[in-house]
Amino acid sequence: MSVTVIVPTILRSLTNQQKHIDMEGSQVSEVIDHMDQQYPGIKEKLVANGDAHRFINIYVNDNDIRFQDGLATSLRDGDVLTILPAVAGG
């Protein structure tokens, strides 16, 4: 599956300042693995102990993957995978 990954500002130093990256993968975890091959170091920013890092939000088409199947969330052609750092405050 071909998907577009939107990279947050804070991680763009790892992606040669690219904001949008086209990647392949049938699950979120596969996409992250492929990203890590191309942009080493990005996986450890996104994944901790086999799950999405607590302070990272990953959305597939605006749906938080923690409310789907986590890193095993399946992807379809044309999906947009958005990575956002923590948004909570207070």
Partner 1 sequence: MIKSLKDCTVSGPFKTLPSSAAAMGFSLSYQSDRLGLKVTDAGNHADRGIFSFGFSAPQVRPINCVITGWGDCDQPGAITESMMQAACGLMSVHGRSTGTIQPFGLPYVSTVTTALALQGGMAAALGNLRGLSVSESHISMAAAALLSTSQYIADATITSLSESLPFGDADYSPAPPFVSADGIVFELETLNPDPWLIFWMKLGISRPLAGKGWTAFLLRYAKAIAPIPDELVRAVSKLAYTDISRLCADAGMAICRVRTLDERVDNEHFKSNWLRGPWVFDYAAPQPDFPLIPASDSLPLSGLTVIESCRRIQGPLAGHLLALLGAKVIRIEPPGGDTLRGMPPVSEGCSVRFDALNRLKVIREIDIKSPGGQEEITEMVRHADVFLHNWAPNKALELGLDHADLHRVNPALIYAYASGWFMNNEGISSQSPSLPGTDFMVQAYSGVAHKISQACGTRGGTLFTALDVLGGIIAAQGITAALLNRQLSHAGARVTSSLLGAAILLCSDDFQSRHEFFDCVPPVQSVLNQVFETEKGKIAIECLDEDTLQRLIQALDLPSGDENELSQRLDESFLSRTAAEWRVILQQAAVPAAIVMEDLNDLYGDPCLQPYLETGSYTRVTSPWRFQ
Closest of 33, 53, 37 to residue 45, by C-alpha: 53
Least Å distance, CB 25 to partner 1, is 20
Calpha distance 17→52 (Å, rounded): 22
Query: How many residues bind partner 1, per CB under 8 A?
Result: 21
* 27-86 binders of partner 1 (CB under 8 A): 55, 59, 62-64, 66-68, 82, 84-86
Contact by Cβ (8 Å): 35, 21: yes
Q: Which residues bind partner 1 (CB under 8 A)?
A: 6, 8-10, 13, 55, 59, 62-64, 66-68, 82, 84-90
